[in-house]
Amino acid sequence: MHDLPEAFLRFFPLTTLTQKVFLALARKSADMVVIVNDRFIDHLVPLGYKRKKLVVVMNSPPSHVPKPRARHDPFKVLYYGWLGEERGVRLIVEASRGVGGITMTLAGRGELEPWVREMSKSNPAIKFEGWLPMESLQPLIDEADLIPSLYEPRSKNAQLATPGKLLSALSLGIPVLVPSGSYQAELVERFNCGIVVTWGDVGQVRDSFARLSTDRKLYDELSVNARKAFEHQFSWEAMTARLVSAYDGLLGRAQGRPNK
């Protein structure tokens, strides 16, 4: 369960009923429910899910040893993914205006694509790459100094989410920018690996860009903390071991073996 069903089923008729049926079937029929973070446990247990059936396997990227981060000049901000209002795309583009010494690169598609394209034409510090295959996107991720992950925390799904870009950034020691009122914010505050802002506050986002692009000591501290957090808490090796152990438990019960 990477997302709550509301993230997708809202496009279907009888949305509330459909979600209830889906969750009821998963609760009653599944021997194991794989979820992406421990906040899903807090959400699902009150709905009747047995805690012992819930297994957290975060959507971490494969681990590798990154090169020490060298902050660029100009400072590189990268957004990739769906170009939508609820992803904070307009927010970060507006916030970048008037901040010297940074570039803003966007890659993706969505309803704001025409607007982003026009902004890139009128501002040389804003670059629009369109939709890129992963082999073309990865070099941009590797070279980024900051990756915003500003999902509007209005829906329960956005509040609970741990987007892939968050974990990819941490794996590379790249600080992140996340919205208050989200599980992402809890992680950033716990590990001191980025900056938390109020969603929709252009001034706070602009100040964050300015601080990270000029305060090298702060940037280096957040970068080191991001990599440590990934290695100690979120690595794919740890998630692999957790998933294999969970499947082994299922097979053991099916074969009548006692639990380890």
Mark whether 98 and 209 lie in a shared domain.
Answer: yes
Virtual torsion, Cα 36, 202, 188, 182, nearest 10 deg: -40
Classify residue 122: in a domain, yes or no.
Answer: yes
Q: What is the pLDDT of residues 209-250, one digit of tens each?
A: 999 999 999 999 999 999 999 999 999 999 999 999 999 988
Classify residue 260: in a domain, yes or no.
Answer: no
The residue type found at 220 is D
Classify residue 12: in a domain, yes or no.
Answer: yes
Classify residue 68: in a domain, yes or no.
Answer: no
Mark whether 49 and 107 lie in a shared domain.
Answer: no
Mark whether 139 and 247 lie in a shared domain.
Answer: no
What's the CA gap between 26 and 18, in Å, rounded? 12
Mark whether 30 and 12 lie in a shared domain.
Answer: yes
Cβ contacts of residue 228 below 8 Å, gap of 6+?
A: 191
What pTM was computed for the model? 0.89
Classify residue 67: in a domain, yes or no.
Answer: no
| Exposure class string for 174-206: b at 16+ Cβ within 10 A, else e | bbbbbbbbbbbbbbbeebebbbbbebeebebbb
Question: What range does the domain containing 206 cover?
Answer: 75-233
Mark whether 140 and 249 lie in a shared domain.
Answer: no
CA–chain centroid gap for 121, Å, is: 28
The domain total for the chain is 2
Paired residues of 176 in beta bridges: 147, 194
Classify residue 259: in a domain, yes or no.
Answer: no
What one-character DSSP code corresponds to residue 231? I
Blockwise average pLDDT, block size 10, the chain, 260 residues? 80 79 90 94 94 94 74 93 96 94 97 97 95 95 96 93 94 96 96 97 97 95 94 92 92 74
Classify residue 65: in a domain, yes or no.
Answer: no
